[in-house]
Amino acid sequence: MRDPRHSILFEPVKIGPKLARNRFYQVPHCNGMGHREPSALAGMRGMKAKGGWAVICTEEVEIHPSSEVAPSIEGRIWEDRDLFAHERVVNAIHEGGALAGIELVFNGPRTNTASRLPPLGLNSMPVASEWLEPLQGRAMDREDFRALRRWHRNAALRARKAGYDLIYVYAGHGLTLTQQLLSRATNDRTDEYGGSLENRVRLIRELLEETRDAVGADCAVPMRMAVEESQLELGLEKAEIEDIVGMLAELPDLWDFCMGSWSRDSRTARFSAEGFQEPFVKGLKRLTTKPVVGVGRFTSPDAMVEQIRSGTLDFIGAARPSIADPFLPKKIEEGHYDDLRECIGCNICVAGDMQSVPLRCTQNPTMGEEWRRGWHPEVIQPKKRDARVLIVGAGPAGLEAAHQLGKRGYEVALTDSRNTLGGRVSRESRLPGLGTWQRVADYRLGQIAKLDHVETYPASTMTADDVLAFGATHVAIATGARYRADARGRAHPRGLMISEGASVLTPDDIFDGVQLSGQVVVYDDEHYALGSAIAEKLAGEGCSVTLVTPAPLVSYWNQLNLEQGFIERRLVEKGVRIIARATATEIVAGRFSAQDDVTGARLDISADQVVVLASREPQLGLINALKERQAEWADAGLESVTLIGDAHNPGMIVHATYAGHRYARELDEPMDADAVPFLRDMPR
């Protein structure tokens, strides 16, 4: 039963001529599908509509080829030929009972166009493309501004034709020409679009008025705007934001507030708490009678209610929580609080978009697979026959497999050699800032506890004899992987020679409670979050830490999830010395040696201990032993033995949960080994 305190979240709210069925609002978010995979995109957005979200918006949608942001895969509404894709998305959203919103965008000087049209900007400045291309935008003149307004109006008309209910004017995240016009940090024009705040607001006022004129009473016109630019000298400040909102107060039908850059708005849980944007948004609602939406990676219904009761927000905006649990509103509405699949704030979803691949989620393995594979986040097909499944290893892959197989109706036994179930999740989540990762295990353990035919056996090391005597029809080996101490990896394909007497450890030693002291080198050839988190942990325990990496930046991969800069800043604050572009050459007792990859110079660093992160070795002892006795399988009633998760191919937690889910979906299902295992969006 729903807690009566949460009923306010299910009140309908008017947005101009439209009525939202509740206060749950999926704000615009990118997804790596965009114009390339409209069917997959429609499947993803439509699933959220079924899950109870009242408003579901697109990613940024380019209004003209001169604002293309290749190689990113965003939406396009350049011409009428783009409408078939949008109609597919809108129809899927409407079928689920939600309103459909489109975020029109002109990126201007962020553009890196495949069309080879000259980028347009406020002034002649280098483009802010991902790879710092040596190209400058052309300073816009009056005719260019007239053209931009025409393009925006035409895009709004197309959006109305496609069936959208909300058509955005967008000035946020540091990406848009409109935000750059507002800010003194980027707008040094001296014409009617520069100088005074009234002039800097001029284009947004024109776009709001002209969009309203174009769509008439058929559509609502929201305004999405950055509410801080503290990362920039002369950036937008609270007083200016209040003046802007006051000047435009009643023009939009809704205000959607965001931070001044994507990395600041979508910070990982490692560097921000739930609702951290509130101080930047609080008080703005009093400046307008129109509804206000804001985000905060909200997963707690009580926190959501507080945002409404305090007068901070009218709608609970979400991107990442709607990805982790598309059915979050419906679960709260029906009082199924134990079933909430909470976002862990890891930004794997962001990384998918940055890599131009379909959206992925650590918590929700079905994300992006709704149309491609026909996967539903809450529904799975029943078993085809009675069978008993033994899963060895209760890490993220094993837990997900046990959960989903149990939902299918199989009899499942889940074993693990450790007393605590959760595998790497329970170990890695103890590192600084990674506590929310434990939600991956907690959610699945909670769901498994509800299934009578899934049994768990902690502190149970399985041998081949044990498996063969168990009476299982199928066995999934999810025994994980352990870090190698010899640094075998990208920089050292054959490993690194380590002298006798050198104290070399791995993250597994740290997780197992080995205490370090004195001077420590963390050698990170993995380039992910753990090397920096271990360095931070050791520095916090009093060690003198040097982090060495062959990559150009510490935690190089984490550029993709927007946290690399935050990681580097945190390490500097903790006193960790960082040496990048340096490859280890020798580890002896008391010394770590490396080569500067730029100059070739030798680097010698005093080291009482060295922690090495490179590759991990899949733990294959059990499956190898079973394969040696394959002749005994039939007599034991055993039909299959399958490696899943890190034991099959080590990766991030997102890869492990996906592997466990896929195993559960495909067990006892006929599969064509040579067929493409998912649907493909093909050109019309």
Active-site annotation, residues: 30, 170, 173, 265
Looking at residue 655, what DSSP letter applies? Answer: H
Asked if residue 71 has a cis previous peptide bond (ω within 30° of 0), the answer is: yes
In which residue are the tokens 């649990």 written? 325
CA distances (Å), 533 to each of 429, 536, 577, in order?
10, 5, 14
Pick from 555, 598, 561, 597: which is nearest to 578 by CA?
A: 555
Residues 6+ apart with CB under 8 A from 672: none
- Burial class from Cβ neighbours inside 10 Å (0-12, 13-18, 19+) for residue 373 reads middle
Helices and strands per DSSP (H, E), number in the chain? 21, 28
Residue 118's identity, in one-letter code, is: P
CA atoms of 74 and 96, how far apart (whole Å): 23
- The pair phi, psi for residue 405, each rounded to 5°, is -65, -40
Q: What is the 3-state secondary structure (H, E, C) of 240-252?
A: HHHHHHHHHCCCC
Looking at residue 482, what DSSP letter applies? Answer: E
For residues 454 and 402, the answer to whether their CB atoms sit within 8 Å is yes
For residues 260 and 230, the answer to whether their CB atoms sit within 8 Å is yes
CA atoms of 587 and 464, how far apart (whole Å): 38
Pick from 246, 247, 241: which is nearest to 260 by CA?
A: 241
B/e letters for 111-134, b = 16+ CB within 10 Å, e = fewer, are bbbeeeeebbbbbeeebbbeeeee
Pick from 187, 159, 297: which is nearest to 244 by CA?
A: 187
CA distances (Å), 108 to each of 178, 236, 288, in order?
9, 19, 29
Angle at which helices 564-573 and 529-540 cross, to 10°: 20
